Amino acid sequence: MTIIKVNASRAYEVIVGKELLDKSGELCKAVISPCKACIVTDDTVAELYLDRVKSSLSREGFEVVCFVFPHGEGSKNISTLENILEFAAESRLTRTDCFVALGGGVVGDICGFAAAIYLRGIQFIQIPTTLLSAVDSSVGGKTGVDLRAGKNLAGAFHQPSLVICDYSTLDTLPFEAFADGCAEVIKYGVINDRVFFEKLTESISSNLEYVIAKCVQNKRDIVEQDEFESGKRQLLNLGHTVGHAVEICSELKISHGHAVAIGMAVIMRASVNMGLCQQADLDSLLALLKSEGLPTSCNFTAEQLSEIATADKKRNGSDITLAIPYSIGDTRLKRIPVSELCEFIKKGL
């Protein structure tokens, strides 16, 4: 078991290990006194893990209520958020109670947002069950939902009180869902950790505790410097500006991790074609993405992608900030005029 401490506006621990679900009540009790706990999860995860977490919490004196919604990115919207809030109110949750997010990135994002705004903010605990949520979305306090105009356009910064990452849950992931998480894992190596990137070429799945802990540590180090994404934290958006546009253009048929893989490939191709990055680094990235079953291209045009991307939350007035790799392990932020985004994407397609 590995424990990573995060010192943000709320200090908390990320606990990474196997067979932790049955200890979740004990782990939660160590940071939150037994209270009413509202578990938020989706229908897929509920069938697999809800009873175990509910039983563990109940054994430790928590009064448990559960909200289950249909799985998938299509549920990450204002309507589902409203239903969670109404359920919490009907269940009489108070400011001393808590939410528990049990599931992948969609569950964690929407449950965290509900916790941020219910009664102007109550505590919540993240129990990620996918590789993507374990290495990325469960840590750092970014929560939110999608709007019709784009992804994550409504949200709040709200740090969890605890993250319990039982990576034995990854055993039930379909291949494509595991690959989604691999895209986010690879992202950390490209941003600022070439040694980690090179270790990933050996294997991601064979050393999950190390891989997850290393990603969390990398994210922790950035979040502690820039919790509210005014500067360095924007590096974590590598591949996401184009990736989010790919998701929207595909009407969510292309999953988040697969879209981020495409986004990273596009942004690094553009960097190579602009003379900023070496072809060898691009070749290494493409090879690693493909080895994990991830795509590196799409059929959408630069015009289609840039039109969506200009609504991205990383836009500031007439500029947009991009995370651009200059080499593997050296990604830098660059602000460009929105008017140049389409031409930039063309260089990456």
User: What are the boundaries of each domain within the chain?
Assistant: 2-172, 175-348
Token pair of 188, please?
Answer: 């950390």
Residue 73 corresponds to which amino acid? E
The burial of 230, by beta-carbon neighbours within 10 Å (0-12 exposed, 13-18 middle, 19 or more buried), is given as exposed
Pairing of strands 315-316, 36-42: unpaired
pLDDT per residue over 290-330, tens digit each? 999 999 999 999 999 999 998 766 677 789 999 999 999 99
Tell me what pLDDT residue 305 has.
Answer: 96
Same fold, 2-172 and 175-348: no
Q: Tell me the residue length of the chain.
A: 349
> Could you give the CA distance from residue 35 to residue 42 in angstroms, rounded to a whole number?
22
Percent of the chain scored above 90 by pLDDT?
96
Predicted local distance difference test score (pLDDT) of residue 313: 62
Cα 66 from Cα 103, distance rounded (Å) = 13
Instruction: Say which CATH architecture domain 175-348 belongs to.
Output: Up-down Bundle (1.20)
- Give residue-wise pLDDT tens across range 101-158: 999 999 999 999 999 999 999 999 999 999 999 999 999 999 999 999 889 999 999 9
pLDDT surpassing 90 at residue 12: yes
In this predicted structure, what is the pLDDT of residue 316?
73
Query: What's the whole-number mean pLDDT along residues 51-66?
Result: 98
d(CA 12, CA 160): 7
**CATH of region 2-172, choose from 1.10.3720.10, 3.30.1360.20, 3.40.50.1970, 3.40.50.2000:** 3.40.50.1970
Largest Cα–Cα distance of the chain, in whole Å? 60
Tell me the mean pLDDT in the region 236-260.
96
